[in-house]
Structure 1
Amino acid sequence: ILLTTTDYLSSIHENILDEYREEVQLLASSKIDGVITTNWDHLLEETFKDFSVFIGQDGLFSSRNHGVAEIYKIHGCSQEPNSLVLTAEDYGKFRKKNPYLSSKLLTIFIEHPIIFLGYSLTDPHILEILEEIVKCFPADKMGTLRENIIFVEFSPGIEEPVITESIILKTLPVKLIRAECYKPIFEVLSEVKRRIPAHIFRRIKDELYDLVITNDPKGQLYVKEANDLDNNEGTPEFVVGYGAINQVKKSAEVAARGMIGLNREDIIRDIIFDNGDYDPNTILETVFPNLLKSSQINMPIFKYLNQSGRIGEDGTVNCEGLCARLKTRVGYSIDRYGSESERERSKKIDEVIEGISELYKSVDTNLFLRMAVFVPPEKMDLIEFQNILKVLVDSDLNSNNKSNFVKLVCVYDQLKYSKRYKF
């Protein structure tokens, strides 16, 4: 008989009458933290598919619970026939053998607003739980429960829900809602605003729990080192977020000036507009080793060397702690950014000798980008040079012109920041 009953209950949720389908859909959209049920069928876990399910006290023992996005089937479930609380004997055992479950329910009832659906104010099992609350709750604080315990009573023939107040167990105040159906209740719950979905919040709590217990985030959390927090001045601020971890890490690191996510285009724009506000030591020690993986990559470096205090007044550079490819680039002169064949051609263009502004006004963009590196340093007006770069940085350049543009930015960077040239 028991097996036949459980087979029947396993599929009963699939046969919802049409008149209740809208009601169930509204229930599914309700913003709730969890469900406590004495029902044996699978309707609730099918409705809240992202919630974790705990069957009886044994379920609580076998799995970690966090009190959010969880379904507690306290009288068992049809998928585990031996868990069902069905007979008078079962109820007697339930009271005696479930102290942990009882304490868990007591905690939930005290710490969360509870809405009772489908239960009577006179249900002896519900009254037992509420009686335990009354016993442990200070008499002078009992009024604070008034907004936390809400009974919804099915009352056929009522046109609109009616909200009143009631007292049960002589001292426990509760809200009482009388309604003909649950649709208005679920409509209100579906409109509740919450920043993080309950099942996501549960995952965050689960990962944080792992981190605290094991000190190992297992790649699921992005965690800033404790030493970094200790070194911050003042009171540290904490941020918890959710999303694709690679995007969260990149955003967090850039925002914190870890800047691992910066690319060469970010560096180029910072040289031209001087508005990145990047920490120069982090750029030199963290970003450049990641970007300079090829010896062929041109990169403006002198702004950050200058800002970090590594360049002396005579133009010498302290390279201690820098990666090998960055040290190599310290020795580059502006002459390396132009080929010998182009240098010979530049000698035939008068505006190259006249100055950067004159060259820009007299030739097309393609020729300018090839010839500008040959303008003598003393003919470089850095303000004009910068203004030209600001115009060209967002131009639609082909690959060759983009490469020449980067070389030109490297020349500008060295002229302005290396202290090797006097203007």
Structure 2
Amino acid sequence: MNIQEFISNYHNHPVLFVGTGLSLRYLKNSYSWDSLLQKVAMDFNENPEYYLDIKSEHMDSTGYVYEQIATQLENDFNQYLKKNRHGKFEYINDIFYENMQKGINISRFKLYLADLLRTAEIKESALDEIAELKKARKNISSVITTNYDTMIEQLFSFNPLIGNNILLSNPYGSVYKIHGCVSQPEKIIITEEDYEEFNCKYELIRAQLLSLFIHNPIIFIGYNIGDKNIKDILRTIFSYVDYNSDEAKKIRDNFLLVEYEEGSDNTEVIEHDIDIEGFETIRINKIKTDNFTAVYQALANLVLPVSAMDIRKVQSVVREICEGGAIEVSITEDLDELNNSDKVLVVGSRKTITYEFLTTSEMMINYFEIIEEANSQLLSLLNKQKIQSSQYFPIFAFSAICPEISRSEELKQQQKDKIAALIKSPHSSCTGDHSTPQEVLDDQQVPQTYKTLEMICSIMSGKMNLEQVEIFLKNYEDKRSTDYRKLLCAYDLKSNA
């Protein structure tokens, strides 16, 4: 079955289970478990045989036992830094002792691991594929990862959950960092002791994850077929769910492993049998390919009755209701009965309730997120909203994503006319020759009142770097201001016209 057809059969938002392979694929600075430990070993002991000696002492019938290797390496590394206060690792010792003064004891080894992986910079060669992944995120309920880096939360803008916080989570819009994260080095799980402690506490986390696996499709990506994590998850699921039950069949049908095969453009999903100790053979679905773009596009094209974004918002409101506090709850089928409030959860019928998500103002605030996700379903709501002739609205990129916007040509002309009117007779200080927004802000010759206009003039003259404008707009403090809307319209026009 083709990947597009396979994913189109999903009836719920899938969960991504992300492994090291995805970080290796996209990040400039990433390591496998073996290469990460080897990197640390070589950084403080330049003898290449040192790491090989450690590996030779920690093998079993299945291969190297990396948690044992990490345990010995941690001990050696910490002792080395303890004896060598200054020098190459002085900054790690500084952090260690600074924490100790606060009564916080974090292994120097884990502090160094966090430092090695702290930067999550995307390879330029991967940017096109990453763009497709971002389009798919609107249909992803949550992400589970064993990776320590912060790539996923940066790409998805999901809430990272580490350690016990996993138990307090909103299932939609979360990144479950089950082996820890560089943002909290003390919670990194890598040594034998870490795994023993994790396994002792895992039952509650296991129950939380099991609920996700039962109710949502699972897509493993960044792992290979023999990976221990995959086998552990399958063992967990079928320890609680009868393998021959209808529920088990549903789980198997929704389970997909995306396995890397260099140079392959394959888009066909096949069945594959996995042998798991203590169980009969378990059949799963697998696609072996280098064409991850096809997988992401299939996810982006998935159409479900309710968006993952809407579910996240509803769950957030419900949770706030359950936690108590100042929020007031009214259940009605008539919106006219409700007073204005910050949050409204409506329960009723289609006959009595009309719901339109995101005003035009909110669309401008979320402009870049909507563009990245190519969220045509959301943009189709523009046909139900009135955009006044006096309003600044960036229609060019939106109409490219959603050609069904009925007034797009009229709105494009309106946008062009409004920008043209702005720059027709600019103030004498507006020369239109600045290359970045920061240059305008720093230029004392441009009065504060005219800085936005000069940015617009520079955008439209072609002198201003649009990537810098994008960064400036993403970080703009007041996205409801007229200045933001003017700048956004100029950027949208210049980028897409």
Which structure would you say has the larger Rg?
A: 1
User: Looking at both structures, which has the greater relative contact order when contacts are Cα pairs under 8 Å and sequence separation is at least 6?
Assistant: 2
| TM-score of the superposed pair, with normalisation by structure 2 | 0.43
